Amino acid sequence: MQTEAPFLPQTPPSWDGQKNQRKRRKRISPLGLIGTIVTLVVLLGAGTFIFILPRIMSHAANAQPNMDCTLIVPANPLSAQGLATPYQLVATNPNNGPCNESNAAQSAFVQGVIYDPGGGTFSVYNPLVIDKGTQPALAPMQPRLPAGSIVALWFGFNGNNLSLRGRNDDALGQGRCVNGQNRSIFGQFAYCNAPAFFGAVNQGIVAQRVKVPALGVAKDGKPCPTVRDFSVIDQDQSDNVQTRYLATGNGQVAQFSAANQAQLQNATVVANPSDNALLTNFLDPALGCKSWTAPNLADNGAPASALPLDELQASVYQAKPIALVPSTDPMTMVSQGKQTVQSLDKTNLYRRGVDQIPATNDQQASGAQYCQDMVTTGLPRLQLDKQLTIGAGTPDPAAANNLFTFLAQRFQGSYDNLNCPQLLKMANPVTTQKDGNGVVTSATFNMTPPPPVTNPLNCVVNGQQVAGCTGSATLNGVTCTFSTQNNTVVINCPRNHMVPQQR
């Protein structure tokens, strides 16, 4: 269990390789998603709301906002009082500038889901995030939790690196919060109590107390996609959440609800772009599918989607091949000197937070296999669904002009940033065309399948595993190095080392 805080930032690379000021571009730009949500609110008939962007635009005008922020976690974060206590956003390093929750480039988000084992039911309560030293625009309402309920939290971030810090010495331990491995954070993602939550829910599924909704059939005749479908994932799947907040012109923030919107009619909707929001808000409607929802306790029981519900549904129904976080995911890699290397331990720590089976060896978290499945199963479905997605709205107008071109450029960037060209010995299969503003307006796919992925060679020396037969191991007290050359394992041991004599 990881409870140290704050962790040292580890910035992932740019996700799509496109020229931009941020080190890591989001799949859906915050401002683009804001515009979409505003449209949805009006069309749903919740009243005519005039959303303005004074605070956000003023921050966007700055040369470069601070992209590394810290969330101060309240005491007993899994309790009803802890859920209703606002989290506080501060700069991880104040010398890099402030962090403001109402700035869409820096917004952090918390998603809480409550499981009632007795009834096998779920509810959602998204705790509020405010700037340290400020007050909420409207005070959160404390939820009523069922007796014996199990609460878990997931975090998302619109910047690069989000660290967690407890308001007191026990807060992160009380919440069983995980922000990464040792002092290497995930980046935009963290969770609290997720393994215990999923363990209890999975017991409920086995006992048939929990009824997981079926996926249904999409308009293309295939099962509706999940967050573990290779046509949905990108270079860092299962990160970020669907939480939204309301930001006022003076920088105060409130929970998103119909009642709060009625009181804050000039508020801006601030959202966390995520794979989950892409699926539930864009892909599902385009394909004629419906996401699993639960009552939102902060919004008078209105149905709300949530990351853990998406993961549970995917765990039950996603057919093979199943997309599980690979060790080449930028959020699961660690710094080693001046290099960034893969870490199976950190990959599994991430997987546990989203109810994915831990990998027991490198092959089960293979980046090469992940890339191949993207090409052989993800790309064909993107092509198949073109007739359905090309007429659907784009999540990010600054990136692409419709849902199809958005998915195409997203796949293109993920393929490169997961090092797929080198792992598969195959050039990027997606070609995009842009207009004068850099917006992708068309895309074509090379549907030639990649060569099969060969299993990497591993050596085991006296019980010591040497991944890829590259590294070192101890033989009779001597440290020897292993390398591979022309399908040959080369072992070098010090010649002058004195081997201890037996007595």
DSSP sequence for 159-172 = SSEEEEEESSTTHH
Helix axes of 307-317 and 194-206: crossing angle, nearest 10 degrees: 40
> What is the β-pairing status of strands 339-341 and 430-434?
unpaired
CA distance 282 to 305: 13
Are both 480 and 331 inside the same structural domain? Answer: no
Alpha carbon distance 188, 159 (integer Å): 7
At 72, phi and psi to the nearest 5? Answer: -90, 115
Is 149 in the same domain as 198?
yes
Q: Are 114 and 84 in contact (CB under 8 A)?
A: no
Per-residue burial over 43-82, b = 16 or more CB atoms within 10 Å of its CB, e = otherwise: eeeeeebebebebbeebeeeeebbbbbbbbbbbbbbbbeb
Is there a domain that residue 224 lies in? yes
The reply to whether 454 falls in a domain is no
**Do 416 and 481 belong to one domain?**
no
Q: Are residues 334 and 384 in the same domain?
A: no
- Asked if residue 63 belongs to a domain, the reply is yes
Whole-number pLDDT of residue 125: 98
Look-up of token digits 């022309």: 486
Quote the pLDDT of residue 448.
87
What is the number of structural domains in the chain? 3
Contact 217, 223 (CB under 8 A): yes
Q: Which of 301, 325, 356 is the last residue of a domain?
A: 356
Residues 69 and 132 in one domain: yes
Contacting residues for 370 by C-beta, under 8 A, at least 6 apart: 323, 326, 328, 418
pLDDT, residue 153, reads 98
Which pLDDT score, from 0 to 100, does residue 6 have?
35
Give 216's DSSP letter.
-
Residues 409 and 267 in one domain: no
pLDDT at 501: 44
Provide the residue-wise pLDDT of the chain in tens; the chain has 503 residues.
433 333 333 333 333 333 233 334 444 444 344 433 333 333 333 332 222 223 333 334 445 899 999 999 999 999 999 999 999 999 999 999 999 999 999 999 999 999 999 999 999 999 999 999 999 999 999 999 999 999 999 999 999 999 999 998 899 999 999 999 988 999 999 999 999 999 999 999 999 999 999 999 999 999 999 999 999 999 999 999 999 999 999 999 999 999 999 999 999 999 998 899 999 999 999 999 999 999 999 999 999 999 999 999 999 999 999 999 999 999 999 998 888 999 999 999 999 999 999 999 999 999 999 999 999 999 999 999 999 999 999 999 999 999 999 999 999 999 999 999 999 999 999 999 999 999 999 999 998 887 777 655 667 777 676 766 767 777 777 778 776 654 567 787 876 544 444 44
Question: Cβ neighbours of residue 337 under 8 Å, at least 6 residues apart?
Answer: none
**Are residue 125 and residue 198 in the same domain, yes or no?**
yes
Residue 369's contacts (CB-CB under 8 Å, 6 or more residues apart) are 326, 363, 453
Q: Is residue 333 part of a domain?
A: yes
Of 306, 323, 356, the last residue of a domain is 356
Beta carbons within 10 angstroms of residue 89's beta carbon: 26
So what's the pLDDT on residue 432?
98
8 A C-beta contact, residue 102 and residue 158: no
Residue 407 lies in a domain: yes
Is residue 3 assigned to a domain? Answer: no
pLDDT at residue 51, as a whole number: 25
Burial class (CB in 10 A: 0-12, 13-18, 19+), 23: middle
Q: Identify the CA nearest to 363 among candidates 473, 235, 228, 453.
A: 453
Q: Do 291 and 187 reside in the same domain of the chain?
A: yes
Same domain, 159 and 287: yes
Is 331 found in the same domain as 476?
no
For residues 345 and 411, membership in a common domain is answered with no
Question: Residue 82 in 3-state DSSP?
Answer: helix
The answer to whether 272 touches 158, Cβ cutoff 8 Å, is yes
Q: Which of 406, 376, 380 is nearest to 393 (CA)?
A: 406
CA 355 to chain centre: 13
Domain end call among 356, 391, 423 = 356
pLDDT at 450: 78
Give me the domain span that covers residue 268. 54-212+219-356
44 within a domain of the structure (yes/no): no
Q: Which residue has the tokens 């906002």?
A: 65
- Contact predicate 78/85, CB 8 Å: no
Peptide bond into 321 cis (omega under 30): yes
pLDDT at position 30 is 43
Please report whether residue 22 resides in a domain.
no
- Residues 94, 243, single domain; the answer is yes
Helices (H), 191-279: 194-206, 258-263, 275-278
Q: Are 413 and 18 in contact (CB under 8 A)?
A: yes
